[in-house]
Structure formats: C-alpha cells, structure tokens
Amino acid sequence: MQGAADIFQQIFVLLILSIAVATISWTVTQESIFSGFRKWCGKRSKNAATVLEQKFFYVFTCEFCFSFWVTLFILIVTGFRLAVDDWRGHLLAFFVIPWLANQWMSLYRRLRVEIKHENALAENVQNEEQK
C-alpha cells in the first residue's frame, strides 16, 4: 500500500509530465516556429501514397495525436508509472498524461482567445476615444 506522501508525489510528477507533454505538443502543432514543418507535413499527409504515410505525417498537425507520441517518449525517458509499479502503471500513465495534457492545452487555447478578445475590445475603445 502506498503512503500519502507517495500518492502526492505521483500526482505532482503526473502534473509536471502532463505540462511538459502539453508544452511540446502545442509548440510543434500550433506555434509559428514550426509552421513551415506543419504545412509540409500537411501536404505530405494529403498526398501520401499509403495510409501509414498519411497517418505518420498527420500526427505532426494534430496536438491530440502528437501528445500520445510525446507521452510515449517521456515515459521511456522517465520510466514513470502511475498507481501500479509494473507494466500496468506505464499503461495507466500512457492514457492519463495525454488526457491531462489536452486539458492544459484546452485551457491555454481558451485563455488565448479571451486575451485576444480583450485586446480587440481595448483597441476598439482606444480608437473610439481618438475619434
């Protein structure tokens, strides 16, 4: 049986790993620094000769899909297991981390939309005041 300290440590590590997955997934699939790579992958996905090639290149354009591959990489590097100290812990972590990462990305997307909306409102008010 795990103690309370172990559970809280696992939750803390889970949160940190999910934030790392979210950050990497969002950056590759959404930010402008990778826009050229994403456009190239999108074209390759649409013009692929095989389904496997199509799916491979599509992964780099979808933050949900890409988050699972980032999670797999992070689990291999860290060896993190969730709740159970064997292969089942890896399997649980493999599904929980990307789920949580996608929640972080949804919150971030909503926050960005709200900030853009507030900036547009402020700009409209400023323009009205200058008239």
Decide if 80 contacts 74 (C-beta within 8 A).
yes
Both tokens of 23, joined, read 């950050």
pLDDT, tens only, 18-76: 999 999 999 999 999 999 999 999 999 999 999 999 999 999 999 999 999 999 999 99
Decide if 17 contacts 74 (C-beta within 8 A).
yes
Residue whose C-alpha is closest to residue 72's, from 87, 41, 94: 94
Q: Map tokens 């050229």 to a residue.
A: 36
CA gap 52, 65 in Å, rounded:
14
Which one is predicted more confidently, 5 or 39? 39
Q: Confidence class of residue 5 from pLDDT cuts 50, 70 and 90?
A: confident
Q: Which DSSP category does 122 fall into?
A: H
Per-residue pLDDT for 1 more than 60? no
pLDDT, tens only, 107-125: 999 998 999 888 888 888 8
Q: Which of 14-18, 89-93, 123-127 has the lowest mean pLDDT?
A: 123-127
Which one is predicted more confidently, 3 or 49? 49
| Mean pLDDT value of segment 73-84 | 95
Both tokens of 9, joined, read 């440590």
